[in-house]
C-alpha cells in the first residue's frame, strides 16, 4: 500500500520557525560541558534505519539513571534497538549497564550483571517490585516481548514468565512503576503505541521522496496496567481499570500526584491522539479527566504529535504543572494548573511555545540546573527523517537540545547557545534523564540518541546555590519511595519535589531528590509525605550533604559511592 502525502500534522516537513529563535546575546551562569568521553560511557545506539522506512527504526531508545548496587550513587542503563527484523539484528545492538564510582566515572559491567539484550529495545522503567531492597528493571520492546529483570544484588534475572507477564505482540513504549492502590508494593503501567508490522506498513511519500509513515493511519493499541499481587507476580488489570476501552497511541508517561491528594495519577502523552490524565483514587480506581482539565489538546483544541511529559510546580504556587513535548511545527506545551485540576496552556506566555516549533522534541525534564530553588527545563530534539534535507533546507536531522532557564516566576528563557558545550552539539535525541552523576550536588543529564553515541552533560555552573540531597527508602511504603512528595521550608520559601515513577520519554530519572537552596545553608523544615502513610517531619538539615532517610527514622548523611547499604 502506498500513500502520497502532501500535508501532515506529524511527519511531513514543516517550515514553521525553521531557525532557532534563541537570543544569541543571552547571558547565564548555567553551564553544561560535554563529559561523555571523561565519564567512560561509550554507548552507541546501533543505527537501525533502512530503505524500507520501518517506523520503529526512528523511535528509540531510552535511558535510566538508577542506583542498582545500593551505594547511593546513580548508575546508568542505556537501551539499544538493532534491526526491526530479528533475523538481521546485529550482535552489537546490546543494552549496557555502567556502574558509577560515585564521582561520575563509569565502568561497563553489562556482562558481570548479566543484563540481557533480547528484542528490539524501546524504553526502561525502574522499581523494586518485590520490596527486597534492590531496584529492578523493566525493558519495553517493539512487538510486546517486554522483560522484567529482578535485581539479585549482583546480577539481573529474567523473571518475566515467573511474574505472570505474558507477551502479547503489541508495541510497548514508555513504562513506569508506581503504587496505584497505596498497598505498599509497586504496580506497573506500560504505554502502548500502534498496531504496526513490516507486513502492514504503508509506504508514504512527500514530494516524491519516501518518508516514514504517519501513526495516524494505524490502529491504536491500549495501554497495559499490571497490579502487583504482593508475591512477586502481577495480574493484568487493564480491562477493569478502563484502559482496554481507551486505546490511544501512547509514547510517554508522567506519573505523580498531580492533584496532591495522596495518590498517584498518570499523564499519557499520545501521538496524534488526545492526551490522557488518569486520576487515581488511592484504591486502584482511575478516571480520565484530561479533556475536562484542559490537558488533552493543543491551545487550538486539536491532538498533537506528543512525545514526552513531566510534572513540576513551575511558578511555586503550590500546584503542579505539566509539560508536553510535540512534533516539529507544534509547540512545547506548558499546562499551568491555575485551580485544582483546571489547567491553561501558557506555552507562548511563558516563553517555550512558539520558539519550540522549529524542532522535533522528545525527552523532557524539569530540573533545577543552578540550585536556586526553581526548576528549569531541558528538552532533547532530533528529527525522524534522515533525508529531511531533500525536502527542505531549513530543517536538520540532528538538532541541538534546548535548555530553558526559569526566571523564578514560571517564565522561561532559552539559554541553549550560552550554556556550554553539551548544548551546542547536534544530536538525534530521544531518551533523556537527569541526576547528579558525579556527586557534587548539582544535576547532570544523559541523552540516548537514535543511531549515535549517548551524550553526558556535566553541570559546571559556577554561580550555583547550595543543596541538600535525599535518598528516600520506604519501610511500610514501597522501598523506592516512588510517589513520596517532599515539601521543604527554606526561610520564607516553600518548594516541593516528588519521587516520580515515570517522566520524559522512554526513560527514568534519578530517584534521589535534590533541593537547590540558593544562598540558604539549612532547610528549616522538611515534610515527607510517604505514599499512603503518615507524613514525617524533619527539621534543621544542614546544606551540602546527601542524606538517606528510611521511613520513620532519622536522616543519616552519606557520601555517594563510598559504601554499599545492604537491605
When pLDDT is cut at 50, 70 and 90, the band that residue 23 belongs to is: low
Query: How large is the average pLDDT for residues 523-533?
Result: 96
Sign of CA dihedral 473, 477, 478, 484: negative
pLDDT tens digits, one per residue of 210-252: 889 999 999 999 999 999 999 999 999 999 999 999 999 999 9
| 23, three cell numbers | 537570543
Q: What is the mean pLDDT of residues 82-90?
A: 84
Nearest in space to 171 (alpha carbons), one of 121, 115, 245: 121
pLDDT band at 24 (very low <50, low <70, confident <90, very high): low
Name, in order, each residue with C-beta under 8 angstroms of 133's C-beta and a sequence gap of 6 or more: 70, 479, 566, 567
Distance CA 326, CA 362 (A): 7
pLDDT in tens, 170-205: 999 999 999 999 999 999 999 999 999 999 999 998
pLDDT tier for residue 19 given thresholds of 50, 70 and 90: very low
Asked if residue 564 belongs to a domain, the reply is: no
Residue 12: is its pLDDT beyond 70? Answer: no
pLDDT for residue 393: 73
Whether residue 360 contacts residue 383, with contact meaning beta carbons closer than 8 Å, is answered with yes
* Dihedral over alpha carbons 363, 365, 370, 371 (to 10 degrees): -150
Whether 292 shows a pLDDT value over 70: the answer reads yes
Which helix or strand (DSSP H or E) is residue 39 part of? Answer: helix 36-39
Identify the pLDDT of residue 392.
74
Q: Is the residue at 19 inside a domain?
A: no
Q: Which three cell numbers stand for residue 343?
A: 489547567
Nearest to 131 by CA among 108, 150, 159, 156: 150
Has this prediction a pTM greater than 0.85?
yes
Residue with cell 534522515: 386
Supply the pLDDT for residue 208.
Answer: 83
CATH for 504 = 2.130.10.10
Q: What is the pLDDT of residues 443-466, one digit of tens each?
A: 999 999 999 999 999 999 988 999
Residue 374's domain spans which residues?
2-14+32-558
118 φ, ψ (degrees, to nearest 5) = -70, 145
Residue 205 lies in a domain: yes
201: which DSSP letter?
Answer: P
Residue 477 lies in a domain: yes
Q: Is 394 helix (H, G, I), strand (E, B) or coil?
A: coil
Burial, 493: exposed, middle or buried (Cβ in 10 Å; 0-12, 13-18, 19+)?
A: middle
The DSSP output letter for 348 is: H
Mean pLDDT score across all residues of the chain: 94
The torsion angle over the Cα atoms of residues 87, 91, 95 and 96, rounded to 10 degrees, is 180
Residue 27, in any domain of the structure: no
pLDDT category of residue 355 using cuts at 50, 70 and 90 = confident
20 within a domain of the structure (yes/no): no
Number of domains making up the chain? 1
In a domain, 231, yes or no: yes
Does residue 422 lie within any of the structural domains?
yes
Amino acid at each position: 500500500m502506498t500513500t502520497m502525502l502532501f500535508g501532515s500534522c506529524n511527519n511531513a516537513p514543516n517550515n514553521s520557525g525553521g531557525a532557532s529563535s534563541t537570543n544569541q546575546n543571552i547571558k547565564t551562569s548555567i553551564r553544561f560541558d560535554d563529559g561523555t568521553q571523561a565519564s567512560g560511557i561509550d554507548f552507541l545506539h546501533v543505527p537501525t534505519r533502512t530503505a524500507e522506512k520501518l517506523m520503529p527504526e526512528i523511535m528509540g531508545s531510552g535511558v535510566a539513571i538508577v542506583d542498582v548496587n545500593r551505594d547511593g550513587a546513580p548508575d546508568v542503563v542505556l537501551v539499544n534497538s538493532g534491526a526491526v527484523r530479528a533475523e538481521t539484528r546485529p550482535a552489537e545492538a546490546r543494552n549496557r549497564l555502567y556502574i558509577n564510582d560515585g564521582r561520575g566515572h563509569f565502568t561497563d559491567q553489562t556482562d558481570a550483571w548479566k543484563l540481557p539484550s533480547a528484542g528490539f529495545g524501546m524504553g526502561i522503567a525502574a522499581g523494586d517490585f518485590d520490596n527486597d531492597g534492590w531496584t529492578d528493571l523493566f525493558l519495553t520492546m517493539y512487538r510486546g516481548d517486554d522483560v522484567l529483570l529482578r535485581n539479585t544484588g549482583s546480577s539481573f534475572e529474567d523473571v518475566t514468565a515467573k511474574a505472570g507477564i505474558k507477551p502479547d505482540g503489541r508495541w510497548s513504549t514508555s513504562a513506569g512503576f508506581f503504587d496505584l492502590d497505596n498497598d505498599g508494593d509497586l504496580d506497573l503501567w506500560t504505554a502502548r503505541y500502534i498496531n504496526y508490522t513490516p507486513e502492514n506498513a504503508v509506504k508514504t511519500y512527500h514530494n516524491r521522496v519516501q518518508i516514514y509513515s504517519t501513526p495516524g493511519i494505524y490502529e491504536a493499541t491500549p495501554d497495559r496496567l499490571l497490579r502487583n499481587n504482593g508475591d512477586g507476580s502481577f495480574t493484568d488489570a487493564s480491562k477493569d481499570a478502563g484502559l482496554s476501552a481507551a486505546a490511544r497511541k501512547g509514547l510517554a508517561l508522567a506519573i505523580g500526584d498531580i492533584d496532591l491528594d495522596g495518590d498517584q495519577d498518570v499523564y499519557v502523552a499520545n501521538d496524534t491522539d488526545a492526551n490522557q490524565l488518569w486520576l487515581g483514587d488511592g484504591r486502584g480506581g482511575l478516571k480520565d479527566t484530561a479533556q475536562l482539565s484542559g490537558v488533552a489538546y493543543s491551545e487550538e483544541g486539536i491532538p498533537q504529535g506528543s512525545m514526552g511529559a513531566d510534572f513540576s510546580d513551575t511558578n511555586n504556587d503550590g500546584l503542579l504543572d505539566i509539560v508536553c513535548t510535540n512534533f516539529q511545527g507544534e509547540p512545547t506545551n506548558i499546562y499551568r494548573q491555575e485551580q485544582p485540576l483546571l489547567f491553561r496552556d501558557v506555552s507562548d506566555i511563558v516563553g517555550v511555545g512558539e520558539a519550540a516549533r522549529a524542532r522535533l522534541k522528545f525527552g523532557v525534564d524539569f530540573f533545577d540546573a543552578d540550585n536556586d530553588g526553581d526548576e528549569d527545563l531541558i528538552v532533547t530534539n532530533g528529527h525522524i527523517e534522515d533525508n529531511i534535507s531533500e525536502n527542505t533546507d531549513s530543517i536538520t536531522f540532528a538538532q541541538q537540545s534546548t535548555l530553558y532557564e526559569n526566571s523564578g516566576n514560571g517564565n522561561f528563557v532559552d539559554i541553549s547557545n550560552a550554556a556550554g558545550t553539551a548544548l551546542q552539539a547536534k544530536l538525534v535525541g530521544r531518551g533523556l534523564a537527569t541526576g547528579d552523576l558525579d556527586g557534587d550536588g548539582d544535576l547532570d543529564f544523559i541523552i540516548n540518541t537514535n543511531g549515535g553515541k549517548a551524550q553526558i552533560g556535566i553541570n559546571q555552573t559556577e554561580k550555583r546555590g547550595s543543596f541538600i540531597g535525599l535518598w528516600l527508602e520506604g519501610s511500610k511504603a514501597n522501598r523506592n519511595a516512588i510517589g513520596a512528595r517532599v515539601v521543604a521550608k527554606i526561610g520564607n520559601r516553600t518548594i516541593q519535589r516528588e519521587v516520580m515513577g515515570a517522566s520524559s520519554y522512554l526513560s527514568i530519572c534519578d530517584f534521589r531528590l535534590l533541593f537547590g537552596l540558593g544562598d540558604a545553608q539549612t532547610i528549616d523544615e522538611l515534610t515527607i509525605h510517604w505514599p499512603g502513610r503518615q507524613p514525617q517531619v524533619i527539621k534543621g538539615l544542614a546544606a551540602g550533604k546527601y542524606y538517606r532517610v528510611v521511613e520513620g527514622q532519622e536522616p543519616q548523611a552519606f557520601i555517594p559511592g563510598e559504601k554499599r547499604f545492604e537491605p
